[in-house]
C-alpha cells in the first residue's frame, strides 16, 4: 500500500466522517487537485457554507423592518447575542451566565484586566509565557503602565528550560510557589500560538490560585480546538477569538468567560457601557447602571449583528459534532502527520498528544520561503519568522489525505534544499 492509499483508507475508515463539504476550500493553484490542503486554520478558519445565507437573512430583515428589526426580525437583534450563550457555554465548559460574545480578543483581555488586575503592595506582577502572542505582551505592558508601574519589573516572562521549546507545568508551579506572593495576575495562552503546546489549564490554575493570584487565560488557540471545563477548573476569567478554529471570519466577534463567583460579586470593578446594564431596565435610559449578575455586565455596546451571525453558524456546527469527537479525531490526524514528519523536519510541538492541540510546528530554515513554496503546490500553511512553520490539521475539514499531501510536499522541498 502506498502512502497515499494508506491516507485514503484512513479517511474511509475514520469513525468521524469529515465535515469538509460544509466549508468553502480555497482552490489549489497548480491544478493537480481541485482544492488546497488548508493547514492555516490556526490563523484563519475556513468559511462555513451557511454563513452567506445567514448574513443575507439579517440584511433582508434590515431592509424589511428597519429599526423594528430589533424586535421583529427572524432573530430579533436586541437579544441576538443571547442566541450564542448556551452553545458557547457548552464549547468552553461554562455555565451559561458565565459567558458572553462581545468585542475582539484584546479588547476583552483589557476589560478583564481592568477588573481583575489590581496591583497592591508587593503583589504587582503579571506572569505570561515568553512566547506569548505579541498582542498579549503589549496589553499586559500597557496595563502595568496604566497602574504607574515599570513593565520591565512588573511583567514576568516564563521561559522553557535551556535546550527545550515548551514550558513544563512543574516549572510554572515551582515559580508560583517561590514568588507567588508577588504575583497579581497569571495570564497564559491555553494553547501556545507558536509551538502548539496545550497547557495543563487545570493544574496551572490551581497553582496560581493557591498562590493568591488571579488566573486568566487567552484561549485564542484553544477554543474550538481542545475540550475545556473553565467553570470546573475554577478559572477566574478567559477570553478567546472566534476567527481561528471557530471559523467565524476575519476579525470576528470574540468570546469572554467570567467565573460565577465574580459575576455575582457586585464589588468587582468594571468599565461600563449601555449594554452592560440589566436588559429589563436598559430602555429606561437611566443615568445609573444596573448590571446583571452575569458576564453580560462586562458588555459595553450593542452587539454587531452581521458579525455575530457567522459565529452563531459556527457554534451550531460545533454543537452538532461535539468537542469530544473532534478532539479524538484531532489526535488521530496529528499522530498520523507527526509520524509522516519525523524524518522530514524538527517538530517542536510536544510529542504527547495530551500536551498539544491540533497544531504541529516545525523548525526549518527560511520558514517564509518554505510556506510560499508549499502554497504554489496547493498546500497552505503559515510561517512565524525566522524559522517556524505552523501546520494545523483541523478535524472539521482536514483529512488524512490532506496530511499526506502536506508531508509529500514538505519532503520534496525540505530534503531537496538540504
The predicted-structure confidence for 104-145, as pLDDT tens digits, reads as follows 999 999 999 999 999 999 999 999 999 999 999 999 999 999
Q: Which domains, and CATH codes, for the chain?
A: 3-42+322-415 (3.90.1150.10), 55-319 (3.40.640.10)
CA neighbor of 251 nearest in space, from 241, 260, 264, 259:
241
The CA-based dihedral angle spanning residues 43, 240, 182, 164, taken in that order and rounded to the nearest 10 degrees? -30
Q: Does 135 count as an annotated binding residue? A: yes
Q: Does 56 count as an annotated binding residue? A: no
Q: What is the pLDDT of residues 61-94, one digit of tens each?
A: 999 999 999 999 999 999 999 999 999 999 999 9
In whole angstroms, what is the distance from residue 312 CA to residue 294 CA? 20
Q: Does 134 count as an annotated binding residue? A: yes
What are the two backbone dihedrals, phi and then psi, of residue 231, each rounded to the nearest 5 degrees?
-65, -50
pLDDT at position 418, please?
37
For the residues 406-410, what does the mean pLDDT come to?
94
Give yes or no for a contact between 136 and 109, defined as CB atoms under 8 angstroms apart: yes
In whole angstroms, what is the distance from residue 268 CA to residue 369 CA? 49
What are the two backbone dihedrals, phi and then psi, of residue 190, each rounded to the nearest 5 degrees?
-60, -45
pTM attached to this predicted model: 0.96
pLDDT at position 411, please?
87
In whole angstroms, what is the distance from residue 382 CA to residue 388 CA? 9
The CA-based dihedral angle spanning residues 340, 343, 346, 350, taken in that order and rounded to the nearest 10 degrees? 50
In whole angstroms, what is the distance from residue 131 CA to residue 171 CA? 15
Q: Does 39 count as an annotated binding residue? A: no
Q: Is 321 exposed, middle or buried (0-12, 13-18, 19+ CB in 10 A)?
A: middle
Q: What is the pLDDT of residues 229-274, one digit of tens each?
A: 999 999 999 999 999 999 999 999 999 999 999 999 999 999 999 9
Q: Does 346 count as an annotated binding residue? A: no
What are the two backbone dihedrals, phi and then psi, of residue 332, each rounded to the nearest 5 degrees?
-65, -40
In 3-state terms the chain splits into helix, strand, coil percentages (rounded to 5) of 45, 15, 40
Q: What is the pLDDT of residues 264-301, one digit of tens each?
A: 999 999 999 999 999 999 999 999 999 999 999 999 99
Q: Does 133 count as an annotated binding residue? A: yes
Q: Does 274 count as an annotated binding residue? A: yes
Q: Does 110 count as an annotated binding residue? A: no
Q: Does 200 count as an annotated binding residue? A: no
For the residues 296-310, what does the mean pLDDT come to?
96
Amino acid at each position: 500500500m502506498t502512502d497515499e492509499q494508506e491516507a485514503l483508507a484512513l479517511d474511509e475508515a475514520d469513525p468521524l466522517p469529515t465535515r469538509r463539504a460544509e466549508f468553502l476550500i480555497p482552490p489549489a493553484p497548480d491544478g493537480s487537485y481541485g482544492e488546497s490542503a488548508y493547514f492555516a486554520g490556526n490563523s484563519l478558519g475556513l468559511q462555513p457554507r451557511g454563513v452567506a445565507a445567514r448574513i443575507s437573512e439579517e440584511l433582508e430583515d434590515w431592509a424589511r423592518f428597519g429599526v423594528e428589526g430589533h424586535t421583529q426580525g427572524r432573530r430579533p437583534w436586541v437579544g441576538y447575542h443571547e442566541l450564542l450563550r448556551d452553545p458557547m457555554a457548552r464549547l468552553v465548559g461554562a455555565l451559561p451566565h458565565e459567558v458572553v460574545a462581545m468585542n475582539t480578543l484584546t479588547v476583552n483581555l483589557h476589560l478583564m484586566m481592568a477588573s481583575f488586575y489590581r496591583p497592591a503592595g508587593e503583589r504587582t506582577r503579571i506572569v505570561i509565557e515568553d512566547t506569548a502572542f505579541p498582542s498579549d505582551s503589549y496589553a499586559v505592558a500597557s496595563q502595568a503602565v496604566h497602574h504607574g508601574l515599570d513593565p520591565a519589573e512588573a511583567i514576568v516572562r516564563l521561559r522553557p528550560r535551556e535546550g527545550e521549546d515548551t514550558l513544563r507545568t512543574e516549572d510554572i508551579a515551582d515559580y508560583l510557589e517561590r514568588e507567588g506572593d508577588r504575583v497579581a495576575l497569571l495570564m497564559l495562552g491555553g494553547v501556545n500560538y507558536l509551538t502548539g503546546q496545550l497547557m495543563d489549564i487545570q493544574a496551572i490554575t490551581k497553582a496560581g490560585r493557591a498562590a493568591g493570584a488571579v488566573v486568566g487565560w487567552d484561549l485564542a488557540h484553544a477554543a474550538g480546538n481542545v475540550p475545556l471545563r473553565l467553570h470546573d477548573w475554577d478559572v477566574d476569567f478567559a477570553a478567546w477569538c472566534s476567527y481561528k478554529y471557530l471559523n467565524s471570519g476575519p476579525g470576528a466577534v470574540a468570546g469572554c468567560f467570567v467565573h460565577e463567583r465574580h459575576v455575582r460579586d457586585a464589588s468587582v470593578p468594571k468599565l461600563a457601557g449601555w449594554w452592560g446594564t440589566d436588559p429589563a431596565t436598559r430602555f429606561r435610559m437611566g443615568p445609573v447602571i444596573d448590571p446583571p449578575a452575569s458576564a453580560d455586565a462586562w458588555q459595553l455596546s450593542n452587539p454587531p449583528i452581521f458579525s455575530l451571525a457567522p459565529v452563531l453558524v459556527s457554534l451550531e456546527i460545533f454543537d452538532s459534532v461535539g468537542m469530544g469527537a473532534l478532539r479524538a479525531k484531532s489526535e488521530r490526524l496529528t499522530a498520523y502527520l507527526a509520524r509522516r514528519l519525523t524524518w522530514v523536519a524538527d517538530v517542536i510541538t510536544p510529542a504527547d498528544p495530551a500536551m498539544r492541540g491540533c497544531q504541529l510546528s516545525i523548525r526549518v530554515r527560511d520558514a517564509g520561503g518554505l510556506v510560499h513554496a508549499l502554497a504554489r503546490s496547493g498546500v497552505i500553511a503559515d510561517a512565524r519568522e525566522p524559522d517556524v512553520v505552523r501546520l494545523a490539521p483541523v478535524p472539521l475539514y482536514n483529512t488524512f489525505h490532506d496530511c499526506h499531501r502536506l508531508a509529500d510536499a514538505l519532503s520534496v522541498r525540505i530534503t531537496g534544499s538540504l
